Amino acid sequence: MSLTAGIVGLPNVGKSTLFNAITNSRVEAANYPFATIEPNVGVVEVKDERLINLSKLFEPERTIFTTFEFTDIAGLVKGASTGEGLGNKFLANIREVDAICHVVRCFEDSDITHVYDRIDPVDDIEIINYELQMADMSTCENRIGKVEKKALNTKDKDAIFEYQFLKKINDALGRNQNIRSLSFSKEEAAYLKQFNFLTAKPVIYVCNIKEDEINDPDTNRYYCAVKDYAEKEGSQVVAISAKIEEELSDLSKEEKLEFLNELDIDHSGLDDLIVKAYKTLGLETFFTVGKDECRGWTFKSGYTAPQCAGIIHTDFEKGFIKAEVYTYEDIMEYKTEAKLKEAGKLRLEGKDYHPKDGDIMFFRFNV
C-alpha cells in the first residue's frame, strides 16, 4: 500500500531540510524562494520497534519494514491559486498526495530570510489555507456550472444530489472553511473522493523550532499558537528542529541514540511525525514472520482479513479461507509459536475479522 504525504509551506521554512532528514538524501536546500521547483519524492523505512524485536526472535534471512512516501513540494506564496510563484504547478503536486505535512517557521533568525519579512506562523498557515481554498472553490464552481441547469430544470436525482453537495462545499469555502472541517453523510463522503479537493486532505502541522527548544517546545510562543490553531481544527501538530533531524540522519543507530541522550529526548521529531502521519491517515501495521522473512505490512484501519491478505497478493484475497492470528504481545511473552498454541493464544479468523494493529498473521488460501 503506497501512501504519500506532501511537505508544503511558504519558502524558506525548512521543508527541504526536513525532506533531507526524512530520506537522508541531498535535495537542494538553498536560502531563497523557489529553490525547489520539481517535487522531490523519497521513501523512508518505518523503523517499527516491534518488527525489530520479532526479527531478533525469529532470526530471519531478511527483515522488511513498511515504508512511507514523502514528497517535497516547492514553497507556495500569496496568489498561488491564480498562478503566482509557479502556483498552478505546485497545487497540482499537492493534489496527488494523501496527506499534507505543513511546515511552518517557528523560529527567529536574521540570517534566514522570510518571504514576507516577519515571523507569524498562524498567518503563514492561513495564507496557504486561503490559496488551497481558492483552488478548491475554482474546481467546485466549474463543476457547478456544468450541473446546475440540469439539477434545477429536471428531476434527475443524481444531478440534484451533486448540485446540492457542491453548493454545500462551495458555501463553506466562501466562509474560509476547509472541506475537511465539514461533516458528510456516508453517500457524500464516498462522492467526495472523486474530486480530490486540496482542503479535504488531512493535515499535520510541523513546527520548525530552534535546537535548544526541542525538549520543551511549549516554551516557544509560536509553537503554542500553532498548537492552539491545530486543536481548533482537529489536526495533528509536531515540533521538530529540521537542523537537528538532518544531523541525526547522518549518524549510525548508536551515534543517534547518544546524540538524543545528549539532548535529553527519547525519540526524534521525525519518529513523532511518522507516527502521527499513520494516525492521520488511519493506518495500522500487521506482520508476517518466519525463518525466511519478517515483514511489516501497512493497512487501513477497518480492513477485513481478506483485504489485508490482498495487500500481500491479490490471489490471497480471492482465495481467502482463514487467517491464523496471534498478537505481538503474546509472541513476546511465549517466545515460540508452539508455546502459543499450547496456551491457546493462536486462533483462526474468517472473512469478517478486522485485523488489529500489531497482529501477526498467516493466510490460508486456495486459488
pLDDT over threshold 60, residue 35: no
Going by the DSSP 8-state scheme, the letter that residue 194 receives in this structure is: G
Confidence label for 363 from pLDDT (cuts 50, 70 and 90) = very high
d(CA 238, CA 70): 16
pLDDT over threshold 80, residue 123: yes
Confidence label for 36 from pLDDT (cuts 50, 70 and 90) = very low
Confidence label for 175 from pLDDT (cuts 50, 70 and 90) = very high
Q: Which three cell numbers stand for residue 166?
A: 457542491
d(CA 115, CA 35): 13
pLDDT digit string (tens) for 297-355? 999 999 999 999 999 999 999 999 999 999 999 999 999 999 999 999 999 999 999 99
d(CA 263, CA 259): 6
Q: Which three cell numbers stand for residue 197?
A: 479537493
Assess contact for 326 and 347: CB atoms under 8 A: yes
> Alpha helices, DSSP H only, in the chain?
15-23, 49-58, 87-95, 121-153, 157-174, 186-192, 221-233, 242-249, 253-263, 269-280, 305-312, 314-318, 328-334, 337-342
pLDDT digit string (tens) for 263-296? 888 778 888 898 889 889 999 999 999 999 999 9
Q: How many degrees, rounded to 5, is the angle at CA 112 between CA 241 and CA 99?
A: 50
pLDDT value at residue 121: 94
pLDDT over threshold 50, residue 32: no
| Side chain identity, residue 177 | Q
Q: What is the 3-state secondary structure (H, E, C) of 48-92?
A: CHHHHHHHHHHCCCEEECCEEEEEECCCCCCCHHHCHHHHHHHHH
pLDDT value at residue 64: 94
Who has greater pLDDT, 88 or 364?
364
**351 φ, ψ (degrees, to nearest 5):** -65, -25
Half-sphere exposure of 242 (CA within 13 A, CB side): 20
pLDDT value at residue 46: 84
Confidence label for 44 from pLDDT (cuts 50, 70 and 90) = confident
Confidence label for 34 from pLDDT (cuts 50, 70 and 90) = very low
